[in-house]
Amino acid sequence: MIETIALIATVATGTLLWGAIGTIAAGVLAMIIVLFRSLGLIRQFSDLTEDVVRMTSIDRAHRLNPAGPAELARLARAVNRLVDRVGADIAKEESERFRLSSIFNSMRDGVVVVDDQGIIESVNPAAGEMLAAVIPVEPGMQLTSLTNHPDVIGVVNSAIRSGNPESTEIELFDNQRTLVALATPFPRPDTQMVRALLLLTDSTGVRRLDTTRREFVSNASHELRTPLSGIRASAETLQLGGVDDIAGRKQFLEMILEDVNRMDKLITEMLELSRLESGESPLDLQDVEPTVLTDAAVLQFSTIIEQSELTLESSIPPDLPFVRVDVEKMSHVFANLLSNAIKWTPSGGTITIKTWLEEKSIYFSVADTGQGIEPEHLPHIFE
């Protein structure tokens, strides 16, 4: 009986043991399955991470593969959409930055941004060219590396200190170049520092034109005074009794008329110059042969040339193409050139008119054997 009970107990114990082993095996198997699935997810997450790193740092065109589990696929598609939007924004910003940079670098005016420590934050090529910088100037360098001119540095410092725009006119290269420097302060949004935007404008041409106009007014006043003095002298002579002298009266009246004509011509030229500068004198363009212009000028001055004992030579090739010009205004040009040549060429001299075709353009020249123009006046011929 006892042996039977012991046998039953042994069998029961064995059954329980195998049941426990089976349970443990099933648990281990489940853990192995979960582990393998976890490892698969880990690999997928690892691949996803590598793809994200790749498209944010190496290949912006790369996109995530929306494969695998549903949640990972949704995540991949969401990341792709986000990257597309960010990429579009970045491309737009880069395009705008390139456009602004192109405008900044191609500006004819010099532009410099300087902080309150005198360090350049931005500078365009025109600024270096205007101030004749001896070395290439880049952001991060001191303003003194661009220029040591006290007026430039002074206007920047003054604007930063006062908080108001400051401007000054600067003479460079022995007064051969004039710049207007305008410094405008503006704060940096991220700090309490104040920067200055320095704008350099080349006013050399404007200053030279202003000087030329003043000289022209002075010369015109002198030219007007001469005939006026002649008219006054003739009128006073007639008033003092010359009116009774018929022969003398005629002579004085002719002198008055000649002076009046000189004044009228000068005033007409001044008015024409004013209309040309204001754009109120439109061009009447016509297609004409070059010889039409030269022949008209020669005919106009032929008598004076003969009386002055001058020789006129012309070199005009046949079959030149037509030129499109304002005939009346070009006639004034030739009249001016020929009259000056006649005036400054002594008797026995030669005046030569040449016309030639070169690179689809017609060239005219009037040369003489006179004394020529003084070297100091050559730069001002066409002012």
Sign of the alpha-carbon dihedral angle for 31, 32, 35, 36:
negative
Residue 54 makes CB contacts below 8 A (sequence gap 6+) with: 62
Residue of higher predicted confidence among 278 and 213: 213
For the cut 70, the answer to whether the pLDDT of residue 244 exceeds it is no
**Residue 178 falls in which region: left (phi positive, over 0), alpha (psi -120 to 50) or beta:** beta
Cβ-contact 204, 171 below 8 angstroms: no
For the cut 80, the answer to whether the pLDDT of residue 156 exceeds it is yes
DSSP 2: H
For the cut 90, the answer to whether the pLDDT of residue 350 exceeds it is yes
Question: Alpha-carbon distance 290 to 316, whole Å?
Answer: 9
State the CATH architecture for 107-202: 2-Layer Sandwich (3.30)
Element (H, E) at 111: strand 110-114
Cβ-contact 118, 130 below 8 angstroms: no
CA distances from 219 to 204, 215, 274 (A): 22, 6, 16
pLDDT of residue 349: 93
Confidence of residue 10 (pLDDT cuts 50, 70, 90): very low
State the CATH architecture for 208-278: Orthogonal Bundle (1.10)
- Give the Cβ contact number of residue 9 at 10 Å: 10
Q: Is the pTM of this model over 0.75?
A: no
DSSP calls for 177-212: EEEEEEEEEEE-TTSS-EEEEEEEEE-HHHHHHHHH
Average pLDDT in the 227-241 region? 81
Element (H, E) at 354: strand 350-358
Confidence of residue 258 (pLDDT cuts 50, 70, 90): confident
Residue appearing with tokens 């990972």: 72
Question: Alpha-carbon distance 102 to 96, whole Å?
Answer: 10
* Third-level CATH fold of 285-380: Heat Shock Protein 90 (3.30.565)
Q: Hey, where are the domains in the chain?
A: 2-98, 107-202, 208-278, 285-380
Cβ-contact 266, 228 below 8 angstroms: no
Confidence of residue 14 (pLDDT cuts 50, 70, 90): very low
For the cut 90, the answer to whether the pLDDT of residue 287 exceeds it is yes
Residue of higher predicted confidence among 11 and 287: 287
pLDDT of residue 131: 85
